[in-house]
Amino acid sequence: MPVIDPVSMEDCVDFVNKNKEDIRDGTYDVKIQASWLTALPSEMVRFLLEYCISTKKVVARVLKGTGPGVTILEQLGRDDNQEVRLCVASNPHAPVATLETLAEDYFEEVRLAVAKNPGLPNELLNQLSQDASTYIRCAVVQNPKTPLKIMNRLASDRSKVVSDAVVHLAQGTKASATLSLLAKCSQADVRGAVCNNNAVSLEIVDVLCRDENSLVQEAAKKRLLAFAESPQTSPELLRQFAIHNSLEILMALGRNPSTPEDILERLARHHDERVRQAVAQNSSLSDSLMMTLAGDEVTLVRVAMAQRTDISMAVCEHLAQNESSTVLQVLGTNPIERERRKMNHLCVDCGKKLLGMGKTLGAQCFVCIGKKIMQR
């Protein structure tokens, strides 16, 4: 039968009034819009609910199960048409008694719609989590209301399809409440999957770092490291890492351009040279911190500073006072240092002061020029 989809409520009323007998005989199936429900004459709504499948489906999806709505939804939940019952099953406001009936419906699609319904009580979630259909048990996994006890059982379900669905949820959900729940799951692979979720919070990862399972601990520590490395991590969160005792995390924090200046100052004075070297590689260092690290007691830290092409000439001059040939050799290739030497009438290759004719002939001393000629 043709479905009549009126463009306005007025057209709907006009069509129904003119074609009641044909609608009653099944010639036409009229579809109304949900927003018309409260404005249409009640007797017309009852008429359409009696004879029109399309209207039944609209009402079944949106009607609230309070007052007269309870009776209507109960009737629609017993409708002979499977699609109507499916619409009731997906209605989060459907009465619990109606959902209980639909949870035992012969058609799997109807039970599947019930399993996805966010308004389900725990008793029905528990019942559907033991349904013979793996699709329905997977739908219970996805239901945001599923409690930990049921999720634990599904995580060790007899079907790998279902247990994998729990792992996939842990890896991909963006819902913080769901991640908090799955972080407490009895299955270690689910807790490990939570650590690999980009949406997981620092607080959850911190707890999982002390997990009883070593693989979960390792996954959590990798996620912590990712937090500490990411420039997208907020400065407020990065501050929480500053008191961490993991050398890897402190090094990542030292390299992160989003790390606050006061934290970098603290790390630039850390007792472990590897942390200070990491700070020396940070692309957002202030001039004062560069000067501090240029005077570090460890050669490799000073080398890291000599390699930077964003250092000031004052830092270059400080590094040039080094006794380390390694630092001076690296510094000699730095374009900022070579420019400083040129401006100060120093040989751009060895850094020695140009004398006499050397000042006017070029930027290299006669010794360095001679070496180049000999190397040809």
- Best CA proximity match to 79, nearest among 91, 88, 66: 88
Q: Are 194 and 178 in contact, with CB atoms under 8 Å apart?
A: no
> Residue 74 — very low, low, confident or very high, per pLDDT cuts 50/70/90?
very high
DSSP H or E segment with residue 221: helix 214-229
- Cα(195)–Cα(174) distance, integer angstroms: 13
Q: Is the dihedral of CA 95, 100, 101, 107 positive or negative?
A: positive
**pLDDT per residue over 141-182, tens digit each?**
999 999 999 999 999 999 999 999 999 999 999 999 999 999
**pLDDT per residue over 219-269, tens digit each?**
999 999 988 999 998 898 888 888 777 899 999 999 999 999 999 999 999
- Cα(167)–Cα(263) distance, integer angstroms: 37
DSSP H or E segment with residue 232: none
- Cα(76)–Cα(70) distance, integer angstroms: 10
> Residue 68 — very low, low, confident or very high, per pLDDT cuts 50/70/90?
confident
Give first-to-last CA distance, the chain, whole Å.
Answer: 94
**pLDDT per residue over 305-346, tens digit each?**
999 999 999 999 999 888 888 999 899 899 998 888 888 888
- From the centroid of its chain, how far is CA 128? 29
Q: Does position 286 have pLDDT exceeding 60, yes or no?
A: yes
pTM of the model: 0.73
Q: Does position 108 have pLDDT exceeding 70, yes or no?
A: yes
Mean pLDDT value across the chain: 91
Only one residue has tokens 């924090």, namely: 253
